[in-house]
Amino acid sequence: MPTDKTAVLADIDAMLRAVLGDFGTDIEITAASTFRADLGMESLDVVSLAGRLQARYGDDVNFAQFLAGLDVSSMTDLRVGQLVDYVAESLGAVAAAS
């Protein structure tokens, strides 16, 4: 399981492109990309992303807890890098504990 941020960003990049489908073909995804303005994500896309995070990382990454720290409007202003940081920290914590 990757815990370095470059590998996590690559994982999330692939998930986002899958979620966005045709909308995600030509866009550039970086840590600075915002979910809404840059990626054009809507709230249902976030639901879909949550399912993919669960499938990839299982219970090691608690996306619900991540969501709980945000309200719905700030979620769409979220940057990809914030999610990458959260995932990398979660996976790092798991690696350190095991």
Partner 1 sequence: MRFLAVNGLSLHVAEIAAGVGRGPEAPTAVLVHGMAGDSMASWYLTLAHPLAERGMRVLLHDLRGHGRSDVPTDGYALDDFVNDLEGLLAGWGVTGRVHLFGNSFGGTVAFGYALRHPDRVAAITAIDSAPPTAAWFDRMGRRLGRAATLTATGRHAVSARRLRDVQRLLAETTIATELPASRLPDPAAFAAVTCPVLCLYGGDSPMLELAGPTERLLPQTRTVVLENAGHSMLVDRAADVRGHVVAWLDDLTTTALTGGREGRTHG
Return residues touching partner 1 (CB under 8 A).
Answer: 36-37, 40-44, 46-48, 50-51, 64, 67-68, 71-73, 75-76
Comparing CB distances to partner 1, the nearer of 10 and 37 is: 37
Angle in degrees, 0-180, between the axes of helices 80-97 and 43-57, rounded to the nearest 10: 20
Comparing CB distances to partner 1, the nearer of 41 and 87 is: 41
CB 48 within 8 A of CB 21: no
- CB of 28 vs partner 1, minimal distance in Å: 16
- CB of 6 vs partner 1, minimal distance in Å: 28
Comparing CB distances to partner 1, the nearer of 39 and 84 is: 39
Give the separation between CA 91 and CA 87, rounded to whole angstroms: 6
- CB of 14 vs partner 1, minimal distance in Å: 16
Q: How far is CA 88 from CA 56, 91, 92, 93, in A?
A: 13, 5, 6, 8
